[in-house]
Amino acid sequence: MTNQWKLKEIVLMSVLGVVFAVIYLMFFFFGQGLRNFLMPFGLGEFGYEIIFGIWFIVSIIAAYIIRKPGVAFTSELIAGVVQVLLGSPAGPMLILTAAIQGAGAEFAFAITKWRDYRLRVLIAAGVFAAVFSFAWHLYSSGNIALATWLIIATFAVRIVSGALLAGVLGKWISDQLAKTGVLRGYALGKEQQEQREHDQAV
């Protein structure tokens, strides 16, 4: 699989992991703020759930830009490894979590045989990443021991967050990025270039 990828695409996945590690930090504090705000209402659990989708965004951005099989999974895995290299207190367990989330996103792209990168597929990728990660947390964080209504409610919030913060936001950021011209050497940049040429021709 890695033979089909160019080195620059792999380094791109890695820098996405690093940049989002920095951005995640900002979100982590935001999540904590939300949690503290919701805690007195007994809804602290939702604090992180609302922003959970941001953890899947690397998968969506990388897959949308590079458009090759395995990118969604590998980019998320790399993001996990990078965070461990950066000394994340979540340690090697994070790599496992990242692999599971990445597998979720990859699943959505696999269904379309890695040919369709329209918004709906990106949203589906965010949703599947949310589903996979939720299942994993039921086990690893012991969320299974929570009351059923709470499990359903947090699940719903995580799915919405995955769809919006990973799927929609991921596409939006990538499109904005393509406009800066830095993606010229990648599938997304090329598609937009062709689009522009087509528009000019018409």
Partner 1 sequence: MNMIKQCNSSKLEPLIRVENLSFDYDNLKNPLISDISFSIDHGETVLLMGGSGSGKSTISLCLNGLYPDAVEGFSSGEIYFKGKQTTEFNKGELNQQIGVVFQDPESQFCMITVEDELAFTLENLKTPREEIGLRITKVLEEVGLSDYRNHKIHELSGGQKQKVALASALIQQPSLLILDEPTANLDPVSSIEFITLIRRLKEQHHIAVLIIEHQADDWLALINRVLVLGKNGDIIANGTSEQVFNDQRERLIQEGIFIPKVFMKAKKYITKSCEEISSSTKPCLTVKDLTFKRKGDVILNKVNLSLYEGEFVAITGENGAGKSTLLQLMSGILKPSQGKIEFLGQSFTKWKEQQLRKQMGFVFQNPEHQFITDTVFDEVAFGMTLNNYGEELTSQRTNDLLKHFQLSELKWRNPFSLSGGQKRRLSVATMLDETPDLLLFDEPTFGQDAQTTEELMFFIKHLQEQGTTIVFVTHDMDLVDTYCERVFVLNNQKIKFEGSPSELWEQTQTLKEARLRLPYRIRHQKKAGEPYDFVY
Partner 2 sequence: MISSINPSVKAGAILIPGVLLGLMFDIFTPLIYLIFIIIVTFAFSHISIKKWLLIFSPFVLLALGFAWMRMLYTSEAFDSGPVLIQFWHIEITKGAMEVAASLALRSLCFVALSLLFVLTTDSTKFMLSLMQQCKLSPKLTYGVLAGYRFLPTFKHELDVLRQAHRIRGVGRAKGIRGRIQQFRRYSIPLLANAIRKAERVAIAMESKGFTGERERTHYHEMKVTKRDWYFFGTLVGTFFLVVFLSYSLGFLNIFGKDIN
Q: Contact residues for partner 1 (CB under 8 A)?
A: 6, 8, 176, 179-182, 184-185, 193
Measure the CA angle with vertex 47, ends 174 and 26; round to 5°: 45
Q: Judged by CB under 8 A, does residue 4 bind partner 2?
A: no
* Alpha-carbon gap, residue 59 to 76, rounded angstroms: 5
Q: Determine contact, residues 13/71, Cβ cutoff 8 Å.
A: yes
- Residue 43's SS3 state is coil
Among 26, 54, 193, smallest CA distance to 130 is for 54
120 or 179: whose CB is closer to partner 1? 179
- Residue 87's SS3 state is coil
Q: Determine contact, residues 38/44, Cβ cutoff 8 Å.
A: yes
2 or 200: whose CB is closer to partner 2? 2
What is the closest distance, in whole angstroms, from the C-beta atom of residue 30 to partner 2 in the complex?
8
Q: Determine contact, residues 155/45, Cβ cutoff 8 Å.
A: no
Determine which residue in the list 81, 110, 135, 187 makes contact with partner 2, applying CB under 8 A.
81
Q: Judged by CB under 8 A, does residue 12 bind partner 2?
A: yes
Among 92, 63, 89, 67, smallest CA distance to 76 is for 63
Residue 159 interacting entry, from partner 2, partner 1, none, C-beta within 5 to 8 Å by type = none
Q: Judged by CB under 8 A, does residue 22 bind partner 2?
A: yes
Pick the piece of the chain touching partner 2 (CB under 8 A) from 99-107, 110-118, 144-152, 190-198: 144-152
Tell me which H or E stretch contains 123. helix 119-140
Residue 139 interacting entry, from partner 2, partner 1, none, C-beta within 5 to 8 Å by type = partner 2
Interface residues toward partner 2, by CB under 8 A: 2-3, 5-8, 10-19, 21-23, 26, 30, 35, 39, 42, 44-45, 74, 78, 81-82, 84-96, 139-142, 144-148, 150-151, 169, 172-173, 176-177, 180, 182-183, 185
